[in-house]
């Protein structure tokens, strides 16, 4: 019986530590100086863009309503490039923008939960 309590506690902690996205007609987004990620208003499409012409890697990590985790990466680090992905079953429920400067440790913005 201890396992369900641990899972529930973990989920509650994750919810408490993350930011909630504000809904708009254009969807949801998260930005940093290195890049940006946008989820469409129908929660089926995600686009991540590298905003700097440098060696920074930019990608988005996201989960779907089917509890599947995915990653979409800007195609080329530092080339003002964007990467896109689509969800065919279910919809995107949470996402976060991640980046790595000069091959150093990964950094991510707070997770954005879509309600």
Residue 32 inside a domain? The answer is: yes
Residue 63 inside a domain? The answer is: yes
**pLDDT digits 0-9 by tens, 55-77:** 889 999 999 999 999 999 997 65
Q: Taking a C-beta distance cutoff of 8 angstroms, is the pair 62, 111 a contact?
A: no
Instruction: Please state, in angstroms and rounded to a whole number, the distance separating the CA atoms of residues 109 and 98.
Output: 6
Residue 15 inside a domain? The answer is: no
Say which CATH number the domain at 94 has: 2.60.40
CB atoms within 10 A of CB 44: 17
Instruction: Please state, in angstroms and rounded to a whole number, the distance separating the CA atoms of residues 22 and 10.
Output: 24
Lowest mean pLDDT among 22-26, 60-64, 88-92: 22-26
Residue 1 inside a domain? The answer is: no
Residue 85 inside a domain? The answer is: yes
Question: pTM, whole model, 2 decimals?
Answer: 0.74
pLDDT of residue 102: 78
pLDDT of residue 56: 86
Residue 91 inside a domain? The answer is: yes
Domain total in the chain: 1
Mean pLDDT of the 5-24 span: 38
The domain of 63 spans 20-113
pLDDT of residue 15: 33
């Amino acid at each position: 019986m201890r396992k369900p309590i641990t899972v529930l506690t973990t989920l509650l902690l994750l919810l408490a530590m993350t930011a909630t996205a504000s809904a708009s007609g254009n969807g949801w987004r998260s930005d940093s100086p290195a890049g940006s990620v946008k989820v469409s208003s129908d929660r089926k499409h995600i686009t991540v863009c590298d905003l700097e012409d440098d060696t920074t890697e930019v990608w988005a990590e996201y989960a779907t309503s089917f509890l599947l985790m995915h990653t979409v990466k800007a195609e080329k680090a530092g080339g003002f490039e964007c990467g896109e992905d689509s969800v065919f079953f279910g919809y995107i429920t949470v996402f976060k923008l991640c980046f790595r400067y000069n091959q150093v440790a990964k950094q991510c913005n707070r997770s954005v939960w879509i309600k």
